[in-house]
Structure 1
Amino acid sequence: MNFKWLPNALTIARCVFAGLLLLGFWQALSLDPAEAGLSADDSAVRTTLQQLWYQFAFLAFLSGALTDFLDGWLARQLDAHSRFGVWLDPIADKLLIAAALICLSIQFRSWLIYIPAAMIIARDVFITWFRATPKGSAVIVPSNMAKWKTGFEMAAIIGMMLPLAIFAPDPQRLQGEEVSLAVLAIVFAVVGLLWVAAILSWQTAWQYMKAALRPKG
């Protein structure tokens, strides 16, 4: 049987998982356990439902990230390369990352996330446009730095989404309590990974631009 369609199907699935991630966060954020006028039982039900939607979003992201590995691996194993796949694959990657960053920015509402998220999304939009130009299409080849950037992005996003999926949300849990140094260290490490990814993203963009503008001959 001919399975050369599988890599492109997985790439399309990654776009679907990006949409499911947005759906999960939208549903979770609409369920506020601290809403005024709710009974204790209603609040508990909302807390449980909210956590389930966070878990749904987290699994959607992990599934999308898995397709990113599988479609490339299958394309090599099946020798299935197409212009459509080459065009859609980087767009699907960027859609998944952008969806996660937008959701996390809305969730945490901090400039420590707003700024690197905006840097990464802006860079990805720019590179998507640049790739469509004649000069860009000739020079944009994934580099080791770009792979490191993707790794830092994935680690940061998973690090921020995992607590939402594991722990029942409780906005008042830390009010009036001291946050341990270990928790603070983990938070700063995860946010730091996002900043590193943002910086690397624009370094790779600058590398592509220099290669495109370099005089030939």
Structure 2
Amino acid sequence: MPLNAPNILTLLRITLIPVFVIVYFLPVSWANAGTAGVFLLAALTDWLDGYLARRWNQSSAFGAFLDPVADKLMVATALIMIVANPRLHPLLLNAPLFSVVVLIIVGREIAVSALREWMAEVGKRKSVAVSVVGKFKTGAQMAAIFLLLYERPIIGIPAFRAGELLLYIAALLTLWSMGVYLKAAWPELTRGEDKDR
């Protein structure tokens, strides 16, 4: 495991996950702001590690494996915390719908990870590389989770409601990007076993 700057940032992102879980459940007035701040820091390391890996030519197989794992752990943990918090249910427009949206997002992350792993095994990983829609989906998810964790109004804008609506948009982008990946992988998924394989 090369301990270069991008990989250290990815490891930092993973270590920040238990930190924002602990802060979220602290019985203090600044818990929401603290949790949102830690989550924002973790999200920024996601962008920075990729930037540094490209800029300094420090990409590695370990980083390529760990980076998406860290992202998915961070997103899934935050969404499950929000769904599991009964105090927030009355604040949601529709708590059951919100739970379904969270299931869609987490389920898609698992499915796409499995698809990418399988495509890598057949030598077609580049076919399911991150798409532009996937990047928009990630941005919408991160912004939505930050607002949901923060809860309080920001310059008069109800952050929690904005976060909820943005998460619904992220869920639509999630389904769209999954469709893009499935379309790219479909020829391999539907190909019969060749005799020479």
TM-score by length of 2: 0.79
Matched, 1:129 2:114: yes
Match of 2:61 among 68, 74, 83: 83
Q: Distance between the aligned counterparts of 1:98 and 1:206, measured in 2?
A: 21
CA distance in 1, matches of 2:106, 2:153: 24
What letter corresponds to residue 209 of structure 1 in structure 2?
L
Paired residue for 2:17? Answer: 18
**Counterpart-to-counterpart distance in 2, 1:4 and 1:20:** 22
- Structure 1 residue aligned with 2:142: 154
Pick the aligned partner of 1:105 from 83, 95, 99.
83
Could you report, residue by residue, the CA deviation over 1:178-206 in whole angstroms, capped at 9, with x for unpaired residues? Answer: xxxx75xx655432211111121122112
8 Å contact 1:4–1:78 — kept in the other structure? no
Quote the Cα distance in structure 1 between the aligned partners of 2:97 and 2:161: 10
Q: Does 2:54 correspond to 1:68?
A: no
Contact 1:11 / 1:68 at 8 angstroms: preserved in 2?
A: yes
Which residue of structure 2 aligns with residue 195 of structure 1?
168
Q: RMSD across aligned C-alpha pairs, in angstroms?
A: 2.6
Q: For 1:187 and 1:12, how far apart are their aligned partners in 2?
A: 29
SS of the residue corresponding to residue 79 of structure 1 reads: coil
In structure 2, give the amino acid aligned to 1:142: V
Name stretches of at least 5 consecutive residues in structure 1 with no aligned partner.
32-48, 167-181
Contact conserved, 2:134 with 2:174, CA < 8 A, in 1? yes
Who is 1:42 aligned against? none
Letter in 2 for 1:102: I
Rounded Cα–Cα distance in structure 1 between residues aligned with 2:135 and 2:177: 10
Q: Which amino acid aligns with 1:197?
A: A
- Decide whether the 8 Å contact of 1:52 with 1:165 is kept in 2: no
Shift of residue 53 of structure 1? 3.0
Rg larger for: 1
TM-score normalised by the chain length of structure 1: 0.72
* CA contact 1:7–1:75 (8 Å) conserved in 2: yes
Q: Quick check: 1:163 aligned with 2:151?
A: yes
Distance 1:96 1:58 in 2: 12
Q: Which residue of the partner structure matches residue 115 of structure 1?
A: 100
Question: Tell me, what secondary structure is at the counterpart of 2:84?
Answer: helix
Amino acid in structure 1 at the alignment position of 2:20: L
Relative contact order (alpha carbons < 8 A, sep ≥ 6): 1 or 2 greater?
1
Corresponding position of 2:195? none
Give the total of aligned pairs. 177
Deviation at 1:160, TM superposition (A): 1.4
**Aligned: 1:205 with 2:178:** yes
Q: CA, structure 1 residues 128+147, in 2 after alignment: closer, same or farther (shift >3 Å)?
A: same
Give the 3 Å change call, closer, same or farther, for CA 4–79 of structure 1 in structure 2. farther
Runs of 5+ unmatched residues, structure 2: 90-94, 192-197
